[in-house]
A = this chain, B = another copy of it.
Amino acid sequence: MYRIGELAKACNINHDTLRFYEKNALLTPSSRSESGYRLYTEKDKDILEFILRAKNVGFTLSEIKELLSIEVDKANNACADVKTLVDTKLQTVENKLAELIRFQASLKRLSDACCGGEESAEHCTILEALESDTNAVRHEHHHD
């Protein structure tokens, strides 16, 4: 069991952020001590880590709330609904992945061009690095 300060420190965030997440129904501590102190379990910590990772890749708190709300309820027949939500989010993730892979390629090309090869003059900005990427994929396409 973590008290609020311990969990905050462990995850490197402000303790007020934890209260804020509680107020916004993202993460409620599993229990309270006699005297009213919030007590977080290891599972609560997993949820928090999930929230922080999701935030880091550009999900909003309300999107994260949606992700956390996903529950395949076998008894209830809401399975199809859940699958729709999951597949929508999966699509979002895959779009983000595609973007990031493009950024990665551009930055790599830039890093290599810099102080590296003979072709230092070729790719001088991230936009040019991106363009050369685009050109590689599409047809040649000059404009100055």
Interfacial residues, chain A to chain B (CB-CB below 8 A): 42-43, 46-47, 50, 53-58, 67-68, 70-74, 79-80, 82-83, 86-87, 89-90, 93-97, 99-104, 107-108, 110-111, 113-115, 120-121, 123-127, 130-131, 143
Instruction: Please determine whether A68 and B115 come into contact, CB atoms closer than 8 angstroms.
Output: no
From known contacts A46-B131, A83-B111, infer whether A72 and B126 are also in contact, taking CB-CB under 8 Å. no
| Best-surrounded residue of A67, A101, A131 (most CB of chain B within 10 A) | A67
A7→B86 CA distance, assembly (Å): 33
Q: Give complex CA distance A95, B107 in Å.
A: 14
Closest to A88 in B: B107
A95: chain B residues at CB < 8 Å are 56
| With A80-B115, A115-B80 as contacts: A126 and B50 at CB distance below 8 Å | yes
Contact A104 B90 (CB under 8 A): yes
Asked if B111 and A87 sit within 8 Å, CB to CB, the answer is yes
Chain B residues lying within 8 Å of A125, measured Cβ to Cβ, are 68, 70-72
Q: Are B80 and A126 in contact (CB under 8 A)?
A: no
What residue of chain B has the Cβ atom nearest to residue A109's Cβ? Answer: B86
| A71 smallest CB distance to B (angstroms) | 5
6 A-B contact pairs sorted by A residue (CB < 8 Å): A46-B127, A57-B58, A72-B123, A82-B114, A86-B107, A97-B101
